[in-house]
Structure 1
Amino acid sequence: MTGGAVETVADEIRETDRQINATEVEIRRALLVHASVHGGIDTPEVLAFMNMIKDLERIGDYNKNIFDLAEEGVSFTESPEIETILSLRDEVSSRISLMGEILSMRDEERARTYIERGDEMRKDFDRRVNELLHSTEEAVTAVPRALLFRFLKRVSAHSSNVVSAVVMPVDQLDYYDESEDTRN
């Protein structure tokens, strides 16, 4: 999509996905066993972890959707927006690493900053998708970019949901899956 050879990573991506799916099942099972043995003491934490696992799984799914575009032959190397696409891709990617740091440190200030930036990014992705929906650009170039921006938006939203576990009570997790006008 941005210049690399798709076939060199396809098998690795699929194998990594299988390993992640198996690990998710193991973690869910361990959480259920823990909750069963320890009763309701850790229920909020167990629910938060279950939610985080779901969001992490979705991040992986959207990354596979992006890879699917590349497998279908989509390339942005000749796009006039290539620099923007690379910049957005790099930021979303670096935010996934940052997500792990914030969670391990339980850093509330960084979590809030992360979530605020996620909101800004999602608005920008929405704007970009809407512009493409209403453009007269040929579908063969507009549709792949719209899909990419939509997938990057979802990765950003699910990343914010994961980080929200640091600052949000359990009953408000998934808050960042909602658009701002439907949030409480």
Structure 2
Amino acid sequence: MDTTRSLRTTFERQLRRVQRDVLRMGALVEYSCILAREALCDRNLDSAQQLVAHDKQIDQFYRQIELDCINLLTLQAPVTQDLRLISAFMQLVRDLERIGDYAQDIGEVAITLFPYPPHPCMDRIQTMLDRCRSMVAMSLVSLSNLDAERGLEIKQKDDAVDADYADLYRLLAHQRDLPGLVEPIVLLVLVIRYLERIADHATNIGKRVAYIVTGERT
């Protein structure tokens, strides 16, 4: 009996540590989104360069959390809710890692775009980016509080981002008689695609939080 209790105590302590690490990783990812905005919209090359080192930290968290989750599954203490939590963590850290990758991709695009004048669509792209940042922040709040309702609300914001993507794609891809180089257009099409994927991953995190709480997949 004492052995079982000791195993359970060890398990709960390790699980709390994983939860803290997931939130720390989430904070890094959220800051990556801020750096991406500064790089692209404010034309801040320093922010773009910071994203490279920042993404390495995110990747380190991802690998460590995944390993820690696997180790937790080998302990003899998990119950059904624990298994649900660990499973969701293993999936949502992948979503966080991908958001970090897309933020770094936006930083790389910002560096390439720097010599060109700002595109007339940039204000609308900034609005789309800000929506995505809001979704990432909202997903992390839902995760921190294990708030299923807030997690599911993120999908409504995703619909707005999808509309942004469709409108901006039409504007960028269907231009005629371009006065200059095509490269900035191609790069901005990539940016809005990256943003659309960030929004999808933030939505996934919200759904995974709801699964942790309710045990139901949406």
The verdict on a shared fold, with TM-score over 0.5 as the criterion, is yes
Larger Rg over CA atoms: 2
CA distance in 2 between partners of 1:148 and 1:158 (Å): 15
CA distance in 1 between partners of 2:90 and 2:159 (Å): 23
8 Å CA contact 1:74, 1:144 repeated in 2:
no
Moved more, 34-43 or 61-70: 34-43
- Out of 131, 141, 147, the residue aligned to residue 107 of structure 1 is 147
Moved more, 32-41 or 58-67: 32-41
Unaligned runs of 5+ residues in structure 1 are 176-184
Q: Does 1:160 align with 2:203?
A: yes
Matched positions, count: 172
Task: Name the amino acid aligned to 1:62.
Answer: Y
8 Å CA contact 1:118, 1:156 repeated in 2:
yes
Matches within 5 A, 1:31-180: 31-38=69-76, 41=79, 42-74=82-114, 78-136=118-176, 138=178, 139-168=182-211, 172=217
Task: Choose between structure 1 and 2 for higher RCO, CA contacts under 8 A separated by at least 6 residues.
Answer: 1
Identity %: 23
Task: Name the amino acid aligned to 2:188.
Answer: R
Aligned to 1:27: 65
CA distance in 1 between partners of 2:190 and 2:145 (Å): 34
Q: Once the two structures are superposed, what CA deviation does each residue of 1:87-113 show, in whole Å capped at 9, x if it has no partner?
A: 222222232222211111222332222
- The Cα shift of 1:143 comes to 1.4
Task: Name the amino acid aligned to 1:3.
Answer: D
Aligned to 2:56: 18
Report the TM-score, using the length of structure 2 for normalisation.
Answer: 0.68
> Cα–Cα, structure 1 residues 40 and 107, in superposed 2: closer, same or farther, change >3 Å?
closer
> Cα–Cα, structure 1 residues 70 and 11, in superposed 2: closer, same or farther, change >3 Å?
closer
Unaligned runs of 5+ residues in structure 2 are 1-39
